[in-house]
A and B are shown apart, each in its own frame.
Chain A
Amino acid sequence: MADAYIVGVDMIKFGRFPEKSVPQLGAEAALLALDDCGLSIQDMQALYCGNLNQASGMVGQRVLQEIGQTGIPVVNVSNACATGATAFREAWMSVKADVYDIVLAVGVEQMGKGLLGGGGGSKGISKEGLLGSGTMPSVFAEAGLEHTRNHGTTFEQFAKVSVKNHHHSTMNAKAMYQIETPLEVVMNAEMISYPNTKLMCSVNVDGSAAAVVASEQKVRELGLMDRAIKVRASVLTSDPWQERDLVMPDVNSCTRMASKAAYEMAGVGPEDLDLVELHDCFATAEILHYENLGLCEEGGAGRLIDDGDVELGGRIPVNVSGGLLSKGHPLGATGIANIYEVSTHLRGEAGRRQVEDAKIGLTHVIGLGSACGIHILEKAA
């Protein structure tokens, strides 16, 4: 099967836009991605639209009502925090399957503030704070302390992830925040769920991102190969059975399955990657994924952050965008925003935060419940 390429990709600056509607936000990113490759909505043969909070609201069709109702097929996608990556993957599959030549993927989300999760059922009494905690900071704290149990990872090592990602975001104008947060500030911030302080939790923001995916023949026809990004691997997994998964959502196994499959599909290994955008919904989560993605040996994640290997300029920079921790995490947009970030580095257009000579990058998202999406991208030709 011929390769599929990203020819246009962009995101809006993440922030809080209560005055705008979800379709308006999605339309902004769609137009940016179309402008990035000099095309229009009339050139698109299908739209794959990711959104979580209005999953039954036909968001994709409403995006087209903002920018051009051309009558193309629209698929609305919802897959927890892997929603954007899943929409992108559906777009990629439709081109790989030779059903369409060129399609659009959009991810968009409008978030409130505050804790996610822990809502509980509709019957009886609230279980939150009675049968433990179901909030996301707690769930990922428990997953982090499992790593502490197995490898002795410290609160300080978890906190260093947040220092790094906030530092990276000072070089990204599209991040929600551009603020340095030294280690003592991160560790002394309000404790939410030990070991995650407030600065170790991702930021709830509004945002959108979009990508135009095209077949090799179409990219050549349009003369767009010079800035095109080849999709070397696209993988989606769900969580395999684990003995504790009824009470402890497992973000590790589905990531390990997905990374193994993605490296096989791309014919590369973790040592070939120049940068990674991974799902740092909480600082504890990023530590887990160093090992899940094979960026270091088992139990080596604490040392990886201590040694600075994952900083910009290090051996394998992780989340140079600022990550979900500082760029922000609009659930349905995150998976495509990660693809935008890696693509921008592969094109050599990332400005101050450019990973020098980047040729291959990986994006990773996890939707709790669970879904894992991984893409491996490479600069074309």
Chain B
Amino acid sequence: MSDGPLPVVSYLKMPEGGKPYLEGHRCDECGAVYLGERRHCSRCGARDSMTTIQLSNRGSLYSYSIVHRSFPGIDVPYISAIVDLEGGGTIKGNLIGIEADPEKISFSMPVEVIFDDALGRKDADGNSYLSYFFKPA
């Protein structure tokens, strides 16, 4: 078992002594931004042209769904949100800190990416995980 929490996805980086952040890759040829590791660009086909970048912790809500039926053991309702990050990159996650009501949620509302424990979920070896969430900015 690991000493501390593990990252929930490979592109969530936890530098020692620093703040967690999301990592992306930007194509030097066309500027397309990707989550996580990648060698070649699926937009323009450029090879070996990726630069590692730190993705922004600020963004805006692009689209969402309010999930009322999920798999057993998963708390509902919750908001599944698609967020465009400032400076490029789009990520999906739970939008928290706002009522799960379409009347309360507005498209393009500014959100902040925050990092917290993965809702108490642990893997088969008992490891805990650090996840990311969105909250209204």
Residues on A lying within 8 angstroms of B by beta carbon are: 115, 118, 123-133, 135, 137-138, 141-143, 145-146, 148-149, 155, 190-196, 241, 243-244, 246-248
Contacts and interface: CB of A to CB of B under 8 A. Distances in A.
A126 B62 contact: no
Contact of B8 (A131, A142, A246): A131
29 contacts: A123-B123, A124-B6, A124-B123, A125-B121, A125-B123, A129-B71, A129-B76, A130-B93, A131-B8, A131-B9, A131-B93, A132-B80, A132-B81, A133-B65, A138-B67, A142-B65, A142-B80, A145-B63, A145-B107, A148-B107, A192-B69, A193-B65, A193-B68, A193-B69, A196-B65, A241-B43, A243-B32, A244-B62, A248-B82
A194 B66 contact: yes
B15 interface: no
A146 B123 contact: no
Contact of B92 (A146, A194, A241, A247): A247
Interface of B: 6, 8-9, 32-35, 42-43, 62-71, 74-76, 78, 80-82, 84, 90-94, 102, 107, 118-119, 121-123, 129, 131-132
The secondary-structure label for the interface of chain A is: loop
A133 B70 contact: yes
A128 to B, nearest CB: 6
Given A125-B122, A241-B32, A131 B92 contact: yes
Contacts of A145: 63-65, 107
Contacts of A194: 65-68, 102
B80 A138 contact: yes
A191 B69 CA distance: 7
Nearest to B129: A125
A277 B32 CA distance: 36
A149 B82 CA distance: 12
